[in-house]
Structure 1
Amino acid sequence: MSEKDKKIMLFKELKIEIRRTWYIISFVLCNLIVFGCVAYYFNMIFRSESTGYSADYKAVLGMYNTVLLIEYIIILCVIPFTVGVTLAREYEAKTLDLLLISKFSTKDIIHTKLKMICIVYLMLIVSTLPYLCVVFSVGVINIFNIIVYVLVVMSSVICYSCIGMYISAKVKKVTLSALLLAVVELASTLGSYVLFGAIYNFADGINKSILDVYSYTKLDHMGNLLVTNPVINIFKIQSYIEGNASIYRTLMNNYGVWGIIDALWIPISILFQLIVAWIMYNKTKRLMLKKHHK
């Protein structure tokens, strides 16, 4: 398969996907909600300033976290109805066999699907960046935080995409594939909540000062599963860098081993999701090769 054919196939996939009802709804809904959150927070801050209150670090961080959290949840809710049915849709339409008996290989099809999914969701994320740039104007958040957020979201998208394609290739039914991927997402989310709760409760029992890193409630810690924790971690690490201090020494002196684990949660999380994605990608490829011998 030539590069030109791959680009043509990718363009056709993108054209079909961005016209789907679920994507259009999620695109509009995500932008409206994010815009509404930013408008609400700024209205609250500006109204408070008339009484002598000025926007502080916590208020801006709360705005930033809320916006990103809502956007991330919307993306995860849409994935089962797009990613989860990408191959099942081909099976039901009887188009996969036609692709495979032509010049397309199993690897070409999977790669094209993954590229299409990444581009589609990257478009969704980028569309909300102007609202987040408004948050930058307060002077607390910088572009580094956005880069981290994009990495966190895209690693999740890639991970669930590969899981969804495997389920889709295995089940071959659109509705059932979407439901199964939704169950996997829910189970992994609840499992992560339990894991976070266990880590922080265990750390709290060993050393109370570990939880003093944050000025937030335990409910916020549980919400850290999605976006809050990575954002706060980056702020903490960034503050150490700006203070010309050794990150390792500062964490060891003040927060111990659990502080290091917490600070490394983002790269560990991203790496884990990419490993899962790689495993599921290979399982999907082997499954399709076994069925279609190409």
Structure 2
Amino acid sequence: MLSVESLQMNLSSYSSILGRRMVKCEWNLKFSVSPWLFSSKKSTTSIATFASSSELNGASISVAEAESSSSISLCRDSPISGSMEQVMVEYIFGRKKATEVAHYVWKHVVQKGDAVVDATCGNGYDTLALLKLVADKTQRGRVYGMDVQKIALESTSSLLDQFASPNEKELVELFVMSHSQMEDIVPNDVAVRLVAFNLGYLPGGDKKIITRSETTVLALEAAKRILTPGGLISIVTYVGHPGGREEFEKIEEFASRLPVEGWNCCKLHTLNRPLAPMLIFLFKR
């Protein structure tokens, strides 16, 4: 068993081909791995690494070398095992959407009683998913939701009427406003665990009403300020509509400037579907 105390990775471009489907992940990761994560005394599940080589503590180790000598194993109680692993595999094979991957990632960040923000409510599916993650009997959790279109919040409210209990609905506050104004509705003493963005236009609505790069960057700056350490900014962005490509590029520029000492930034998208949604995670240390 290889003992690992600190793992540093800077993988700028990672491509894999599985079942004729290509997925590209761009990671800028630098993190410390707790001793409990890698242990020879616990039951473990092996990790298969799809890469020609990797950097581990300054040494280059090929996959063949790793298999013939020491292997890195992951404890079964690791937060990235189980359902998250399955969802990622299903995404690679085209069986899961980017939004579904996002929802599973949220489960490993958000806890009962947390405060979260849905910066673009749309038809309410993200709002409902966030509510189910924070709601419990203590009634301490909060979901702050916003959208510039009143019709979007009406759809969100209708969805909550169908699938949330009266007690759960009390935890949701909805506002007709721009996502760039989120600091106006979140109390100063509230630590926000997650801010979710699902950009573009309202599905089934007016496609001329879209999120725009200028206000989205302002919203990301606001999210960065209100997010608690250990929190996540989750972004699903689209490039197939006018203005979408520019918005994505501004988001990518914003994320690339975040200091590696305080942030881990990841982008996930499908290579052979250039107009497919792009999933971006910004994790605050």
Q: TM-score, normalised by structure 1?
A: 0.25
Considering fraction of residues, name the structure with more strand: 2
Relative CO higher for 1 or 2, CA cutoff 8 Å, sep ≥ 6? Answer: 1
Select the structure that is richer in helix.
1
**Greater Cα radius of gyration, structure 1 or 2:** 1
TM-score, scaled to structure 2: 0.25
